[in-house]
Amino acid sequence: MALKNYTSQVSAVRSIGWIEDKLAKNGARQILKEYTPDARVASIAFIIHTNGVELPFHLPARITACEKVLRADVRRPNNNTYKRIKEQAERTAWKILADWVDAQMAMVELAQVDIVEVFLPYLFDRSKQQTFYQMLQNQGFQKALPEFCGEVENNK
């Protein structure tokens, strides 16, 4: 398997702490963790103050999706295989997210992008409990495009 960090031994707790530290150093406020029913951290939510406005963001680790990919590579499972995969998926998902945040914050620190620009897909609508990306996805991306970038040819 050639997936990034699929053998990472960095604990999820360490990756999460690193992400929180990086976000705080770059202007995030009110950082909190959201948990799954089995007490695993599922996402990090935070607020960025910009131009007098508090913008809420929601960064999911998507551990279940990672676990599904790791399970697909199993050839001959034994009694502990799926337990180990579940643990590995948590480490891998959070380490990948930490690496992504690291790259994005490097761009912010080098004034190549604004922090809101980086996290815009993760802007969170609390009333609808969805991100900006999820809203666009649910509406159909095609509906959003004509307003934003002019008339788009419909490829049917």
Please say if the pLDDT value at position 146 is more than 90.
Answer: no
Instruction: Give which of 97, 87, 85, 88 is closest to 15, Cα–Cα.
Output: 97
Please say if the pLDDT value at position 151 is more than 60.
Answer: no
pLDDT tens-digit readout, 47-94: 999 889 999 999 999 999 989 988 888 888 787 888 888 988 999 999
> Which two tokens mark 54?
């508090």
Please report, rounded to a whole number, the percentage of residues in the chain having pLDDT higher than 90. 58
- CB distance 95 to 5 below 8 Å: yes
Please say if the pLDDT value at position 4 is more than 90.
Answer: no
The whole-angstrom separation of Cα 112 and Cα 137 is 27
Mean pLDDT, to the nearest integer, of 1-8? 60
List of E strands, 13-102:
28-35, 41-50, 53-60
pLDDT greater at residue 32 or residue 2: 32
